[in-house]
Structure 1
């Protein structure tokens, strides 16, 4: 591709959260928490409403360094958590609701969300998930398609980094990212195919719109896509991270992949979408302490080894951005202690109580 100019690519991170009551069940206070936190927050980042009234979203500004991104994520999380505490509720960073719920939460009173709820029925009301989205700057959409094709094989490895939904609906699901399985119920979700051109990308989106399988371009839910609002490639593969450090680790790895592709990463691997979908299933099941298909061979390897190879592949870009040591240290912690899903599973195993997992994730 050879589009890299030597400048460090900017990036941004979005995080979705559940708002739960003191017992750990979904609360309807999400809108109130967002409004209160927004009124009290400083001018860094943005707080947003989500599909249901049991959720809240935070988004950083455009960031140049991992230090900047980490500072903003910590601040945004604390703004939301403080506003939640004042209302007797808690902020839950989990990919799926931890406890079993008798009724689905109410839809946020927004015309677009209400239309989605009617059109998609139970998919909209019961596919309750919270993800982490990373935006990385790209020179243009045509180049973005080339980069998208190149990064596709690394999506399973990226999924393992923040996998954080092992305990859901009150039990151990057997998956590290149960959110990924739930999210895949949307008709436009899942891994994108390898595109021959931007025209092919657009033709698929147009066909979805004509079929009514999406209502607008904001519902392009591929695991990595061209952003509709910013000149970025948007990675949508991940669970919301248990800790902001893990979200930023995901961010710098995504940025490193994009920068490496732009600096002439070579031709993309000829990976059929059916194979990639199966590889993502495996990654969602096993997480960072399990096995993950290696992009170079397709064979299973320890996820931590695959991630080490990702860092080796992108080391020049990571070093240029000042991210190399941060990435190495973050991966070493994951290899030693596991990720959010592993911590959930260990806590749940102590007493078989999902409420203990809520306490762990909310810090209470």
Structure 2
């Protein structure tokens, strides 16, 4: 049934727990490639990264427990080479000049296709899979969800620093990722046939080998019956991951039940809304999908909660999700906290130590 199940994938940086610096480990990467790094641990393109994937979850308690388990597995895998993992989309101070590719055919093929884009991949993200009945439903929800993606993005920012500098963005990952020609919000596709036609044309144009390498902010999975939300930064705090997963699932359920045409929003305006969310996160203004006007970020978040309220209530999740959202609005994102720590201490290393503590990955 659409909107019943959730799965969460998180990508992490490998760091030296003593110095906080980014650290490459062929040992850890090779173990992940061979399936020897943990049941839920997978490799990523760089040897400074790891990915985890939960199993299928049906309640928010399931999601929380699964994330505790997968983060612990990632830490254990990193510790085999004296390292730990960092739950943030960019590293606060390291700028590796020579990222090393994980030795696996998949990544060698990516480098052949994408060249420097793949070779300089030093960002991490969160992906939420929500179960859908069929491809037609997935595409119909995609078309309707597009205006809400910037709001969801704004709630996850954890990448204010890059290349040893404050970028001025809450989600520099979004800006970095925008360089890829297969990223960003998808255009309206109508139905399964429309999606299949576009994928076929992109394959024919030599851009991708198949739909699995479409890195849109939202896409149908090619290997499981889910709709995959890909726009989020890595949420340092576990509460924020649970909130993000809950909102993604509820949005799928609500939009799948809607009739009529999908809302029309100009691609230029949607790109602007995405940029605003990446630039200021919850500290500025966001585009209200209902009115098309800029509103305080808190207003946009509460508008999303209002839309999803009846569905969340029917699941018994409304109080928990509302509480988590209000908590996030009150304390700010990981990006806001990182800047606060750096301002207070003047020490980028203190930012890493704080991230490890908040993310539950400190050794």
- Considering the TM-score relative to the shorter chain, is it more than 0.5? yes
Q: Quote the Cα distance in structure 1 between the aligned partners of 2:84 and 2:10.
A: 16
Question: Is the 1:170–1:354 contact (alpha carbons within 8 Å) kept by the matching residues of 2?
Answer: no
Does the residue aligned with 1:349 lie in a helix, a strand or coil? helix
Does the residue aligned with 1:186 lie in a helix, a strand or coil? coil
After superposition, what is the alpha-carbon deviation per residue over 1:81-117, rounded to whole angstroms, capped at 9, x for unaligned?
A: 2342453212111112322424232111111101211
Does the residue aligned with 2:223 lie in a helix, a strand or coil? coil
Task: Map 1:64-103 to 2 at 5 A.
Answer: 64-103=58-97
2:45: which partner in 1?
Answer: 51
Q: Quote the Cα distance in structure 1 between the aligned partners of 2:226 and 2:82.
A: 38
Q: Quote the Cα distance in structure 2 between the aligned partners of 1:31 and 1:96.
A: 22
Q: Mind listing any 5+ residue stretches in structure 2 that lack a counterpart?
A: none
2:167: which partner in 1?
Answer: 173
Q: Quote the Cα distance in structure 2 between the aligned partners of 1:34 and 1:245.
A: 31
Question: Is the 2:23–2:48 contact (alpha carbons within 8 Å) kept by the matching residues of 1?
Answer: yes
2:195 matched to 1:201? yes
The structural deviation recorded for 1:281 is 0.3
2:22: which partner in 1?
Answer: 26
The structural deviation recorded for 1:69 is 0.5
Residues 257, 30 of structure 1: CA spacing in aligned structure 2 closer, same or farther, 3 A cutoff? Answer: farther
Q: Quote the Cα distance in structure 2 between the aligned partners of 1:34 and 1:287.
A: 36
1:262: which partner in 2?
Answer: 256
Residues 321, 104 of structure 1: CA spacing in aligned structure 2 closer, same or farther, 3 A cutoff? Answer: farther
Q: Quote the Cα distance in structure 1 between the aligned partners of 2:355 and 2:297.
A: 23
2:350: which partner in 1?
Answer: 356
Question: Is the 1:34–1:56 contact (alpha carbons within 8 Å) kept by the matching residues of 2?
Answer: no
The structural deviation recorded for 1:276 is 0.6
2:211 matched to 1:217? yes
Residues 224, 8 of structure 1: CA spacing in aligned structure 2 closer, same or farther, 3 A cutoff? Answer: closer
1:131: which partner in 2?
Answer: 125
Residues 334, 249 of structure 1: CA spacing in aligned structure 2 closer, same or farther, 3 A cutoff? Answer: same
Of 180-189 and 191-200, deviating more is: 191-200
Question: Is the 1:8–1:64 contact (alpha carbons within 8 Å) kept by the matching residues of 2?
Answer: no
1:143: which partner in 2?
Answer: 137
TM-score (normalizing by structure 2): 0.92
1:17: which partner in 2?
Answer: 12
Q: Quote the Cα distance in structure 2 between the aligned partners of 1:78 and 1:262.
A: 34
Does the residue aligned with 2:184 lie in a helix, a strand or coil? coil
TM-score (normalizing by structure 1): 0.92
Of 322-331 and 65-74, deviating more is: 322-331
Q: Mind listing any 5+ residue stretches in structure 1 that lack a counterpart?
A: none
Q: 1:340 aligns with which of 330, 334, 352?
A: 334
1:302: which partner in 2?
Answer: 296
Q: Quote the Cα distance in structure 2 between the aligned partners of 1:236 and 1:56.
A: 17
After superposition, what is the alpha-carbon deviation per residue over 1:283-337, rounded to whole angstroms, capped at 9, x for unaligned?
A: 0011123211110122111212211111111111112222211211111111111
The structural deviation recorded for 1:124 is 0.7
RMSD over aligned Cα atoms: 2.1
Q: Quote the Cα distance in structure 2 between the aligned partners of 1:289 and 1:322.
A: 30
